[in-house]
């Protein structure tokens, strides 16, 4: 993910999970060791779109839903894919045999958090750091066929959000938005109901 997306995730996570709506650019820059200009530039689009309002020394998020859709359209999930393969194992077997370092995304993340499946799914999306990819490949060697296991590059901060080894709701949402599986919409609609209750 880009630095812009890292910043967007941080803010949207705080809004959706912790009901925190007011921020300063300085606190975000210090937390991620980004320059103030990087944070300022990351906020240009949400500011222009009316998602945030500047006030005093900081800014306030006034439309998190709109911002989430902005991120969803900006996100290039395919660009971050570092491995994909087919495996004859079932969804439950794949999830159960994943190494401990991974973070579950998309359908698995939703199911693991909300203990509910809006539709059956037959494809697993997980996040992993590049240096840990060998472990996944040894468990799920490359095999031709319909791809049902996709590994996405994890950024260094993701594990800070992944309670229970799952992506935070805001990231699950933008990833689901970018998936082609027909049942992604079922999960997206279900997640919308969960996250937009402030």
Q: What is the pLDDT of residues 135-190, one digit of tens each?
A: 999 999 999 999 999 999 999 999 888 676 999 999 999 999 999 999 999 999 99
Choose one of 49, 74, 99: the last residue of a domain.
74
Assess contact for 168 and 159: CB atoms under 8 A: no
Q: In the predicted model, is pLDDT for residue 27 greater than 80?
A: yes
Choose one of 74, 93, 108: the last residue of a domain.
74
User: Rounded distance, CA 162 to CA 128, Å?
Assistant: 12
103 and 114 housed in the same domain: yes
- Give me the mean pLDDT over the 86-107 stretch: 96
Ranges assigned E (strand) in 75-192: 81-85, 103-104, 124-128, 149-153
Retrieve residue 21's tokens: 């709506």
Our CA angle for 130, 31, 109, nearest 5°, is: 50
114 and 50 housed in the same domain: no
Q: How many domains does the chain have?
A: 2
Residue 66, domain CATH: 1.10.10.10
130 and 56 housed in the same domain: no
Q: What is the pLDDT of residues 34-84, one digit of tens each?
A: 999 999 999 999 999 999 998 778 999 999 999 999 999 999 999 999 999
Domain that holds residue 82: 77-195
Choose one of 11, 40, 74: the last residue of a domain.
74
Q: What is the value of pTM for the model shown?
A: 0.94
């Amino acid at each position: 993910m880009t630095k812009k997306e890292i910043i967007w995730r941080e803010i949207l996570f705080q809004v959706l999970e912790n009901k925190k709506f007011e921020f300063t650019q300085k606190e975000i820059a210090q937390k991620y060791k980004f320059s103030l200009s990087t944070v300022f530039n990351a906020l240009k689009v949400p500011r222009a779109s009316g998602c945030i309002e500047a006030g005093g020394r900081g800014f306030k998020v006034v439309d998190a839903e709109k911002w989430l859709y902005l991120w969803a359209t900006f996100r290039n999930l395919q660009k971050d894919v570092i491995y994909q393969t087919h495996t004859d194992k079932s969804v439950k077997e794949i999830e159960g045999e994943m190494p401990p370092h991974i973070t579950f995304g998309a359908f698995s993340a939703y199911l693991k958090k909300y203990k509910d499946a809006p539709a059956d799914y037959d494809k697993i999306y997980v996040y992993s750091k590049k240096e840990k990819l060998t472990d996944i490949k040894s468990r799920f060697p490359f095999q031709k066929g319909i791809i049902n296991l996709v590994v996405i590059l994890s950024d260094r901060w993701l594990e800070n959000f992944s309670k229970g080894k799952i992506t935070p709701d805001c990231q699950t949402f933008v990833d689901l938005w970018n998936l082609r599986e027909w049942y992604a919409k079922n999960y997206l609609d279900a997640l919308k109901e969960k996250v937009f209750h402030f």
